[in-house]
Amino acid sequence: MRKKIVAGNWKMNLSAKEALALVNELKVKIDHQPDTKNPKNSNGLPEVLLFPPYVYLSRVLEVFKNYEGVSVGVQNIHQEGKGAFTGEISPLMVRSLGGTHTLIGHSERRIHFNEDDELLAKKVALAMKNGLIPVYCCGEMLPDREAGKHFQLVAEQLKKGVFWMNEDEVKNIIIAYEPVWAIGTGQTASPEQAQEMHAYIRQLISDHYSNKIADEMTILYGGSCNAKNAAELFAKEDVDGGLIGGASLKADDFFRIIQSF
């Protein structure tokens, strides 16, 4: 059975005080999940991943210390292991604090920081070398979809960024399909559009590796996923959860999404 995951990408939002209030509120909600014998590891919830701005990493990790089912990571890493790269952070730093995951290739990194698939492949490799699990983001822009090129484009992103790995490596990563036109716009992909692309991605994985690997890999949907539409999206066969931006900034909304399976 592949993992169900709900991930929160806070992007560049929240003060330290707000961030701590959010995680503490979230923790209380998870602890008080009804029908729970042991709220810390068998509460029937999907795995939760949090991606705060990295300056808050230690503090968020502290709140969820020894807490099964909630993992914390960063939104980006540098592609080099260490050195003279002022302002950057390395996967080793994240791992040494206890962070376990990193987003790689979010469309905002691709668009605003010109990150291309070759660079992202380096980041993926370095993350894994340092024991971080990459959440590799892919997805098309609106003109690509309108031109009917969305499948081809996503295939390209995966081929360059991910499919160079061997079977043992690839099965440990998480893929997030995030159509750029749906991110932060309130215009969610329909459950059918999400399912169609997720099934396509799973088929690509199957063609490149095997059915077994494709079956084991978690593919998240992201793009204006919220407490109202999450259940419909997560009900689709190949949608294994969500990567949530705006709606992950409020404990109530995010927790309702977590409960949407």
Judge whether 57 and 99 are in contact, CB under 8 Å: yes
List the interface residues with ligand PGA, window 34-93 (CB under 6 A): none
Sign of torsion, CA 122 123 127 128?
negative
For ligand PGA, which residue of 246, 253, 258, 260 counts as binding (CB under 6 A)?
246
Closer to ligand PGA by Cβ: residue 124 or 243: 243
- Is 128 one of the binding residues for ligand PGA (CB under 6 A)? no
Say if residue 123 is exposed, middle or buried (CB neighbours under 10 Å; 0-12, 13-18, 19+): buried
Closer to ligand PGA by Cβ: residue 195 or 226: 226
Least separation in angstroms between residue 215's CB and ligand PGA is 25
CA distance 58 to 260: 28
- Is 178 one of the binding residues for ligand PGA (CB under 6 A)? yes
3-state secondary structure of 228: coil
Alpha helices in the chain (DSSP H): 16-31, 57-63, 91-97, 107-112, 117-129, 142-146, 150-161, 167-170, 191-208, 211-216, 230-234, 251-258
For ligand PGA, which residue of 19, 165, 189, 243 counts as binding (CB under 6 A)?
243
For ligand PGA, which residue of 73, 99, 223, 241 counts as binding (CB under 6 A)?
223
Count the site residues for ligand PGA by CB under 6 A: 13
- Is 102 one of the binding residues for ligand PGA (CB under 6 A)? no
Closer to ligand PGA by Cβ: residue 99 or 223: 223
| Nearest partner of 92 among 104, 82, 102, 107, judged by Cα | 82
List the interface residues with ligand PGA, window 143-162 (CB under 6 A): none
* DSSP at 162: T
- Catalytic residue ranges: 106, 178
- Residues lying near ligand PGA in the complex (CB under 6 A) are found at 9, 178, 183-184, 222-225, 243-247
